[in-house]
């Protein structure tokens, strides 16, 4: 049934179509056009989701004015019915009437759901065509990624100007199915293919790289019209989608949860700053097999690995650095000649900021926690000659770690009377949304320095308590940026732009805090000053030693 005749983007539309179409919604037409007017100067390619309005027909005169006022705008009109994931409760005949009137109002493209097209009579579709509008026939599967060729074959009889195929990714591997489909269809320049869902986020960037005519974006975060949709500004400024091409190297952060990770912002900013043709994506998965399949199927050059995969990935690496082997966890994977090499930059993220302030050799350091971050701290500090003490909620885990690393355990009651050079928090206590009681009280801070690995909020209750006693602090942001900077250097062999990385992360955290403020602390304090005190220590990527 498939034709071998290549289909292309209509000639008249080709210069008007960018890589990103911004979906415009609104519960009233006034709201919709206000939004469109604020977006159109930056992004003139828009989709008006008329199905979000109670009475879409009444918005069409305004749409006509909008198009007359914004001659550079290219507009898709969509009025998706409820049964197919939209909000329009009318009949297919009513949908067709709205699309015809939208075309007459000047929209260059209309979106007709495949099921609508299949239920319309041929003359009805001819009537829509006769308006001169370009037609997207679209198909959305909100449950899975199935046979995409079969969906395409159903669309072909309508000879649409664009084929829009949007399945849902349940795993990272579903993105591979989508990309392989796009590659098989590379003689068609008018297919739009994206995976919905959190694991499908990468398809919103990589789909375009594999040949999707364009992708869709939300006007702003919070206004997504499909699960996993990314805000237009993020796609354009952070992911630099306009510059993504076949030569663009692919990196990513893998784990769960990943959508709120600041790593894509930080690393893509670093790539942009250092003019590296690379993109860094959020790879949402809890299953290592799923991640490994993606890594083997698409040319991913490097990974940041986070919870829950840091330990499990070790068995699949050709070699690791000695500290990763001791810790039993790796947070950085580099692919060279098809093989995977592991590094642990969490250690440098902890020892680096300390070494800028003190000598670690011989220092007496208390580590709170005995999980992944604590293991990196304890082994890293022991490696540099510190006298390390561990306090953990589960004493057995602390004892095991102490035995493995040559550290000691300590009881809570002994802390106030034991002077330390540094106290490091490696538990999630103090993290935004974590309501657990603080492990230490003010009287326990018998130390010269407090380092909280938690980085959200910028000032944790522990850091606030330290600052109130005039004890110097190190924030978790410094660790986050340091471990990311070392990863950047491993990935690219270039010095990391640490100050810029720090700046964007702090800015993002402040914006998050403004959007969802934490409850006011009891005492009044000024904002934490986080000074970028880093110096780059770039080294070319080195192949680590053979795994022990
Ligand atoms: P993890 O492996 O889950 O370990 C968590 C540790 O905290 C365990 O020792 C656990 O004790 C303890 N803990 C958890 N909840 C507790 C509570 N309510 N009371 C007392 N102890 C509690 O997590 P992780 O990967 O080590 O990460 C720990 C924290 O470090 C994260 O939340 C994150 O904020 C921070 N971190 C920051 C960076 C950075 O770049 N700045 C990087 C990595 C981690 P049990 O053994 O008793 O369960």
252 found inside a domain = yes
E strand or H helix that includes residue 280:
strand 278-284
- Cβ of 349 below 6 Å from ligand 1: yes
Give per-residue pLDDT as tens, 138-192. 999 999 999 999 999 999 999 999 999 999 999 999 999 999 999 999 988 999 9
Residues 299 and 424 in one domain: no
pLDDT of residue 540: 39
Instruction: Please check the confidence at residue 200 and state whether its pLDDT lies above 90.
Output: yes
205 CA distance to ligand 1 centroid (A)?
Answer: 32
Query: pLDDT tens across 246-281, in order?
Result: 899 999 999 998 888 999 999 999 999 999 999 999
Catalytic residue among 101, 164, 310, 326: 310
- Ligand 1 centre distance from Cα of residue 402 (Å): 17
pLDDT of residue 330: 95
Mutation to probe ligand 1, out of 353, 428, 429, 431 (largest number of atoms < 8 A from CB) = 428
Residue 7 has pLDDT above 80, yes or no: no
In this prediction, residues 314-341 reach a mean pLDDT of: 96
Q: Whose CA is nearest to atom 8 of ligand 1?
A: 371
pLDDT in the model for residue 497: 98
CA distances from 208 to 123, 139, 216, 376 (A): 34, 18, 10, 38
Would 377 be classed as within a structural domain?
Answer: yes
In a domain, 536, yes or no: no
Among the three residues 243, 275, 305, which one is the final residue of a domain in this structure?
Answer: 243
Q: Is 495's pLDDT higher than 60? A: yes
Residue 77 has pLDDT above 50, yes or no: yes
Which CATH number belongs to the domain containing residue 363 in this structure?
3.40.50.720
Asked if residue 515 has pLDDT above 90, the reply is no
Question: Which atom of ligand 1 is nearest to 476's Cα?
Answer: 41
Is the Cβ–Cβ distance between 422 and 447 less than 8 Å? yes
Cα dihedral 80, 84, 89, 92 sign: positive
User: For a pLDDT cut of 70, what percent of the chain falls above it?
Assistant: 93
Per-residue CA distances from 441 to 195, 415, 438, 446 (Å):
48, 10, 7, 10
* Cα 85 to ligand 1 centroid, rounded to whole Å: 39
Can you give the CATH number for the domain in which 283 is found?
3.40.50.10860
Confidence at residue 461, expressed as pLDDT on a 0 to 100 scale: 96
Same domain, 106 and 228: yes
The single-letter DSSP state of residue 546 is P
Residue 526 in any domain: the answer is no
> pLDDT over 90 for what percent of the chain?
86
User: What is the pLDDT confidence band of residue 520, given thresholds at 50, 70 and 90?
Assistant: low
The confidence score (pLDDT) of residue 548 equals: 32
Same domain (yes/no): 239, 252: no
Q: Is residue 9 part of a domain?
A: no
Q: Tell me, yes or no, whether 75 and 159 share the same domain.
A: yes
Instruction: Examine the fold and report which residue of 217, 243, 269 is the final residue of a domain before the chain moves on.
Output: 243
Domain-located, residue 210: yes
List all residues 6 or more positions away from 362 whose beta carbon is below 8 Å from its beta carbon. 385, 386, 387
Asked if residue 389 and residue 486 are part of one domain, the reply reads no
| pLDDT tens profile 362-420 | 999 999 999 989 999 999 999 999 999 999 999 999 999 999 999 999 999 999 999 99
The pLDDT value recorded for residue 54 is: 96
- One domain, residues 466 and 365: yes
Asked whether residue 537 carries a pLDDT value surpassing 80, the answer given is no
Residue 7 lies in a domain: no
CA-nearest residue for atom 39, ligand 1, is: 480
**Mean pLDDT of the 437-460 span:** 95
| Binding site membership of 453 for ligand 1 (Cβ less than 6 Å) | yes
Q: Please identify, among 444, 474, 504, the residue that sits at the C-terminal boundary of a domain.
A: 474
Mean pLDDT score across all residues of the chain: 92
- For the cut 80, the answer to whether the pLDDT of residue 529 exceeds it is no
Please answer whether residues 144 and 110 qualify as being in contact, where contact means their C-beta atoms are separated by less than 8 angstroms: no
Which residue is closest in CA terms to ligand 1's atom 33? 454
| Count of domains observed in the chain | 3
Task: Kindly report the pTM of this predicted structure.
Answer: 0.89
Q: Which residue has tokens 């009891």?
A: 522
Cα–ligand 1 centroid distance for 72 (angstroms): 52
Longest dimension (CA), the chain: 88
Q: Is the pLDDT of residue 491 over 60?
A: yes
- Give yes or no for residue 528 having a pLDDT over 60: no
Residue 537 CB less than 6 A away from ligand 1: no
Task: Verify whether residue 310 is a known catalytic residue.
Answer: yes
For residues 340 and 351, state if they share a domain. Answer: no
208 pLDDT above the threshold of 70: yes
d(C-alpha 144, C-alpha 347), whole Å? 40
Q: Do 315 and 464 sit in the same domain of this protein?
A: no
Res 521 pLDDT > 70: no
C-alpha of 344 from chain center: 21
Cβ(221) – ligand 1 distance below 6 Å: no
Same domain, 196 and 108: yes
Domain that holds residue 387: 347-474
453/488 same-domain check: no
Q: Are residues 225 and 268 in the same domain?
A: no
pLDDT at position 6: 58
Sheet-wide strand order for 319-320: 278-284, 249-255, 300-305, 332-336, 339-343, 319-320
Model confidence band, residue 5 (pLDDT cutoffs 50, 70, 90): low
Tell me, using a 6 A CB cutoff, whether residue 429 lines ligand 1: yes
Is the minimum distance from the CB of 83 to ligand 1 under 6 angstroms? Answer: no
CA distances from 424 to 257, 302, 374, 401, 475 (A): 24, 29, 9, 16, 10
Q: Which of 353, 379, 400, 426 to mutate to test the pocket of ligand 1 (most atoms within 8 A of CB)?
A: 426
- Residue from 369, 400, 454 whose mutation best tests the ligand 1 pocket (most atoms within 8 A of CB): 369
CATH number at residue 208: 3.20.20.70
Contacts 24+ apart (CB under 8 A), 410-413: 410/366, 412/439, 412/444
Residues 292 and 361 in one domain: no
């Amino acid at each position: 049934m498939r034709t071998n005749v290549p289909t292309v983007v209509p000639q008249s539309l080709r210069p008007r179509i960018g890589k990103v179409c911004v979906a415009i919604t609104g519960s009233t037409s006034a709201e919709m056009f206000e939004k469109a007017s604020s977006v159109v100067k930056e992004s003139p390619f828009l989709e008006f989701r008329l199905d979000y309005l109670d009475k879409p027909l009444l918005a069409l005169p305004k749409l006509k004015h909008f198009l007359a006022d914004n001659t550079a705008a290219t507009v898709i009109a969509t009025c998706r019915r409820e049964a197919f994931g939209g909000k329009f409760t009318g009949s297919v005949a009513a949908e067709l009437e709205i699309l015809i009137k939208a075309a007459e109002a000047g929209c260059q493209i209309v979106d007709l759901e495949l099921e609508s097209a299949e239920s319309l009579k041929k003359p009805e579709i001819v009537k829509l065509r006769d308006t001169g509008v370009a037609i997207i026939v679209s198909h959305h599967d909100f449950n899975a990624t199935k046979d995409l060729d079969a969906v395409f074959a159903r669309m072909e009889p309508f000879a649409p100007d664009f084929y829009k195929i949007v399945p849902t990714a349940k795993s990272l591997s579903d993105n591979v199915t989508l990309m392989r489909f796009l590659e098989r269809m590379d003689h068609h320049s008018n297919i739009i293919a994206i995976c919905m869902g959190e694991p499908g986020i990468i398809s919103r960037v990589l789909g375009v790289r594999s040949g999707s005519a364009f992708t869709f974006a939300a006007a702003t975060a919070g206004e997504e019209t499909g699960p996993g949709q990314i805000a237009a500004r993020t796609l354009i400024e952070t992911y630099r989608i306009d510059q993504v091409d076949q030569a663009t190297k692919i990196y990513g952060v893998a784990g769960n949860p990943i959508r709120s990770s600041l790593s894509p912002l930080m690393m893509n900013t670093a790539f942009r700053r250092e003019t590296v043709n690379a993109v860094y994506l959020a790879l949402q998965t809890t299953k290592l097999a799923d991640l490994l399949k993606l890594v083997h199927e698409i040319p991913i050059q490097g990974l940041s690995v986070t919870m829950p995969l840091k330990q499990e990935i070790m068995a699949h690496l050709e070699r690791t650095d000695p500290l990763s082997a001791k810790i039993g966890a790796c947070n950085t994977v580099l692919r060279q000649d098809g093989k995977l090499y592991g590094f642990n930059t969490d250690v440098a993220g902890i020892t680096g900021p300390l070494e800028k302030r003190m000598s670690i050799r011989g220092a007496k350091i208390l580590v709170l926690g005995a999980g992944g971050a604590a293991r990196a701290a304890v082994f890293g500090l022991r490696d540099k000659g510190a006298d390390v003490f561990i306090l953990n909620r589960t004493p057995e885990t602390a004892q095991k770690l102490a035995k493995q690393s040559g550290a000691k355990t300590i009881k809570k009651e002994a802390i106030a009377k034991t002077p330390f050079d540094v106290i490091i928090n490696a538990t999630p206590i103090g993290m935004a949304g974590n309501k657990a009681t603080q492990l230490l009280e003010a009287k326990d801070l018998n130390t010269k320095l407090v380092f909280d690995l938690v980085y959200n909020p910028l000032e944790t209750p522990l850091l606030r308590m330290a600052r109130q006693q005039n004890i110097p602090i190190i924030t978790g942001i410094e660790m986050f940026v340091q471990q990311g900077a070392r990863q950047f250097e491993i990935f690219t062999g270039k010095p990391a732009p640490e100050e810029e990385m720090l700046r964007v992360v702090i800015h993002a955290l402040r914006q998050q805090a403004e959007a969802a403020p934490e409850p006011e602390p009891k005492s009044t304090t000024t904002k934490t000053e986080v000074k970028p005190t880093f110096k780059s220590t770039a080294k070319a990527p080195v192949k680590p030693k053979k795994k022990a």
